[in-house]
Amino acid sequence: MKNFGIVIEHIDAHSQARVGKLITPHGKVELPMFMPVGTLATVKTLSSDELVKAGSGMILANTYHLSIRPGADIVMEAGGLHKFMNYPGPILTDSGGFQVFSLADNRKIKEEGVTFKNHLNGDMLFFSPEKAIEIQEKLGADVIMSFDECIHYPAEEKYVQASVERTIRWAKRGKDAHKRNDQALFGIVQGGEYPELRQHCAEALVEIGFDGYAIGGTSIGEPKHVFFQMVADSVKHLPSDKPRYVMGVGSLDYILEAIGMGIDMFDCVLPTRIARHGALMTSVGRINIRDQKYERDFSPLDPNCDCPTCKSYTRAYLRHLYKAEETLGKRLLSLHNVHFLIKVVEGAREAIRHDRFIEYKHEVLAKFGSKKGF
């Protein structure tokens, strides 16, 4: 498609981390990037204006959820997602595949597609590769995703093999169905933990030809080393001149390690979800704002953060709001976490440009890495 592509500006001298720009119909955004998730056309508690001010690039919205509420036709009639939610930057929609396989009940998978009960009112729905494209064309995001089968982990090789073949056939059908030339379409590499299947899926998708490639079937409960093996087994078969996206990853250690492997894009509900439970990512480690010790702590949430929450409010006030179940609390905490994660990835870009990404990764993880609870 036109108006879409990546420009790689620099590759880190000591890793495969790369920095550059993603060109989209709604502007250029920096890579690598973390995309906040706006499931129902809202990143929970935050306004679109706050996202822009936090430095968000592309954001993600969920096809499955939006197809149920408010329905794709209404979003289309509004002029598409950008107008509907008043977000000026680029937007990506997933295919609904993950939700069909994680949220829906009474699922029946056939070659044609999947029938399932939706999680809200129990109505029977049908998703197929063509249907997922049709809905996403109505939603009108800049980047849309192929419909895939998200298998569970672990899964038998035989099952994964058959599933990968179907995912490839579904990807082809989706590409054939896709008509809008102002939307990039990404393929999703599946294949579970099996290197040959990852390779086969990646190569088949590249042969069909997509505007970008995602690595799917990760972050579904597999051990950490298996996650990185899956990413490694996929990324090496993907072209370097297309964007690479690992889906559903939001913890710092996973993001930074994957950036080092040449991944450009990430999304996750993690920063907003944990914020709503009072857990904050800060430059001084993980903070649980419910803790009694913050009752009289009149310092900022994160002394090194310049987000509106940290500039205007204290830990004691944020704890009070949280304990009193005041909406403003979840909102201010979400804003901080989104801001924080965006800034860490911004720091990664800067480090890549100076060939010091590995040092940066270790600095960040030493301060607030996985052992500290992210």
Binding site for a copy of itself (CB under 8 A): 40-42, 44-49, 69-70, 74, 77-79, 84-86, 295-296, 298, 308, 312-314, 316-317, 319-321, 323-324, 326-328, 330-332
**How far apart are CB 94 and a copy of itself at their closest, in Å?**
17
Q: Which is nearer to a copy of itself, 188 or 321 (CB)?
A: 321
Q: Which residues are bridge partners to 105 per DSSP?
A: 117
5 φ/ψ sector (left φ>0, alpha ψ -120 to 50, else beta): left
Q: What CA–CA distance (Å, rounded) separates 33 from 341?
A: 10
Taking the complex as a whole, the smallest distance from the CB of residue 184 to a copy of itself amounts, in Å, to 25
Place of tokens 């996985």: 370
Contact 214, 94 (CB under 8 A): no
Residue-by-residue DSSP string for 68-106: HTT-HHHHHHTTSHHHHHT--S-EEE--SHHHHHHT-EE
Sheet of strand 114-117: strand arrangement: 105-109, 114-117, 124-127
Q: Which is nearer to a copy of itself, 42 or 115 (CB)?
A: 42
Question: If we measure between CA atoms, which residue out of 38, 59, 32, 98 comes closest to residue 258?
Answer: 32
> Which residue among the candidates 148, 211, 267, 302 is catalytic per the annotation?
267
Q: List all residues 6 or more positions away from 263 whose beta carbon is below 8 Å from its beta carbon.
A: 32, 215, 231, 235, 244, 245, 246
Nearer to a copy of itself, 117 or 276 (CB): 276
Biggest CA–CA distance in the chain, Å, is: 61
Per the CB < 8 A criterion, the answer to whether 140 and 41 are in contact is no
Contact 339, 307 (CB under 8 A): yes
Q: What length is written for the chain?
A: 374
In whole angstroms, the minimum distance from the beta carbon of 68 to a copy of itself comes to 9
What's the rounded Cα separation, in Å, for the pair 317 and 329? Answer: 9
For the CB of residue 331, give the shortest distance to a copy of itself in the complex, in Å.
7
Known catalytic membership, residue 267: yes
Q: At its nearest, how many Å lie between a copy of itself and the CB of residue 107? A: 23
Residue (70 or 347) nearer to a copy of itself, CB: 70
Q: Give the residue with the Cβ less far from a copy of itself, 64 or 313.
A: 313
Minimum distance from CB of 268 to a copy of itself (Å)? Answer: 19
Nearer to a copy of itself, 120 or 284 (CB): 120
User: Minimum distance from CB of 341 to a copy of itself (Å)?
Assistant: 19
CA distance 196 to 272: 36
Considering beta carbons, is residue 45 or 136 the nearer one to a copy of itself? 45
Q: Of the two residues 46 and 279, which places its CB atom closer to a copy of itself in the complex? A: 46
Place of tokens 């000591």: 14
Question: Per DSSP, which regions of 146-210 are E strands?
Answer: 184-189
Amino acid found at 191: G
* C-alpha radius of gyration, the chain, whole number: 20
The answer to whether the Cα torsion of 253, 255, 256, 259 is positive or negative is: positive
Give me the residues paired with residue 244 across strands: 213
Q: Which of 12, 94, 142, 253 is labelled catalytic? A: 94
Residue 94 is a catalytic residue: yes
Least CB distance to a copy of itself at residue 75 (A): 9
Residues annotated as catalytic (active site), given as ranges: 94, 267
